[in-house]
Structure 1
Amino acid sequence: MTTVRWCGVLLVLTACASGSAEPPVGAIPVVRTGADIVLPLDRFQQTSDRRELLSKAVDVVGDRCMRRFGLEWKSDPAPQPSLSNTGRYTNLDPAVASADGYHSRAAGGPPPSALPADAKAVWLGEGVTAYRGVPVPSGGCVGEAMRQLKPGIEQIEAGLPQKLQWQSFALTRQDSRVTAAFARWASCMQDKGFRYPDPPTAANDPRWRTERPSPQETATAVADVDCKLRTNVAGVMLAVETAYQQRLADENAGALAAVMAYADRELAIARQVVQG
């Protein structure tokens, strides 16, 4: 499990979303773990299986291009970042807080391999227009792969689902029902001897910018998790963000449908490439 810090830039994005009235919410769920956090816009995100297939297709097309130059392409084995909501409202696991404080656990796996300079130049199309007498495609071999695998992507707003995810989080963070939950959390923390106005401030305390978590950091993180669970901060945030996401999904239904239709087409192309 990875502990995700709060991103301060999100807090200024509310102006991007239409509709200023706070939407009504349903029953407040009790959220005890990050696995309980399921949101309406999740269905518009790529699954890990889809991302893996698309990555394989890029490797197939890219390697085919590189071989025209007598070069070989092997993708780095670095793991893909998780798309889980586990840490969306910061860590809820007492064991993680006790061990790691607010430090994120480093992803495992081998370090990425270093490409030779000539292979990197051809792959990215940087600083080279031809190699061994063969013209290098615009954007390099990766550019060629993208054009083959993502035709017409400029005609849709491919990043819309992620953009709406950020907007909904920013709106949720400033919603009066969430700030009231934060106030209850702050009171709980004060009873334990810690003074923070809200969980983001605790998670982003400059004192935690160290190589390893200090005893003070882990003690704060443990108290933070306990107070979040006692006051059900994540449950309130989930109910509120669900309402904002549903509103955003309804407002952008046509564009989101176009994104999903394109994603299915893209997947079909990738599957055909990988299967030869």
Structure 2
Amino acid sequence: MLAVVPALFLLAACSASDGGGADEARSTSCPRACCMGEAMEKLTAGAEMPVSGSGGNTEDQLTNIVLNAKGESMKLALQDQKFVAMQQRWSVCMKESGYSYPGREAAVGDPRWGDELGAAPSAEEVRVAVTDSRCQQKVNYLGVYTALLRQNDKKIIEKNSEQLKLVQDVWDTRLRNAADVIETGSAP
């Protein structure tokens, strides 16, 4: 995220030097998404990219490497028998208070709660949320889930260490290049 600020400085400098502006940035004929593409290219200069530039936005590909690894860890945690047993204990706890949910996702996604952002919760929604919180504490929901994630993260990191190391190297390069932009006012 820190590399975005120097990218914006490069974007502003590029727009000023070539006469480009907001209209140009929206143009579909503009190469490398105009100056933002150029800025990201300069910030990434010298980095070995873990994926080819073909097949989509390299920034998205870098992000997806990390998100896919995290998603795999979460999926393994949700399928683990420790999680399944804990979720069943949570469901029993909720049932004891009069609420029948097979898991937290069902309680959180209960259609009675609606999806209007900023709307005040109903009294029933508050009661369910309080019971949910109490049952989570009773079955150590967060502790079990976090321990499983930590355990799986280690496995996933080992399994994908080469790709994740390359992503880290790209970000380290970007931060060094960003520091240079801030210090000198120009790209590396």
TM-score, normalised by the number of residues in structure 2: 0.82
Q: Which of these two proteins has the greater Rg computed from alpha carbons?
A: 2
What are the residue-to-residue correspondences of 1:137-156 with 2, within 5 Å?
137-151=31-45, 155-156=49-50
Contact kept, 8 Å, 2:7 with 2:39, in 1: the verdict is yes
Unaligned 5+ runs, structure 2: 52-61
Counterpart of 2:103? 198
Contact kept, 8 Å, 1:66 with 1:123, in 2: the verdict is no
Structure 2 distance, partners of 1:215, 1:264, is 49
Runs of 4+ that moved beyond 4 A: none
TM-score, normalised by the number of residues in structure 1: 0.57
Contact kept, 8 Å, 2:82 with 2:144, in 1: the verdict is yes
Q: Considering only aligned residues, what root-mean-square deviation do their CA atoms show, in Å?
A: 1.9
Q: For residues 113-139 of structure 1, what are the alpha-carbon distances to aligned partners after superposition, in whole Å with 9 as ceiling and x for unaligned?
A: xxxxxx433224x23x4xxxxxx5431
Structure 1 residue 69, shift from structure 2 partner: 4.3
Unaligned 5+ runs, structure 1: 1-50, 72-118, 130-135
Structure 1 distance, partners of 2:169, 2:102, is 43
The residue type equivalent to 1:253 in the other structure is S
Contact kept, 8 Å, 1:186 with 1:196, in 2: the verdict is yes
Contact kept, 8 Å, 1:121 with 1:140, in 2: the verdict is no
175, 180, 197: which is aligned to 2:85? 180
Task: State the identity %.
Answer: 29
Counterpart of 2:56? none
Structure 1 distance, partners of 2:75, 2:115, is 27
Structure 1 distance, partners of 2:149, 2:40, is 34
Structure 1 distance, partners of 2:112, 2:47, is 44
Contact kept, 8 Å, 2:47 with 2:173, in 1: the verdict is no
Structure 1 residue 225, shift from structure 2 partner: 0.8
Contact kept, 8 Å, 2:43 with 2:177, in 1: the verdict is yes
The residue type equivalent to 2:169 in the other structure is A
Structure 2 distance, partners of 1:191, 1:63, is 60
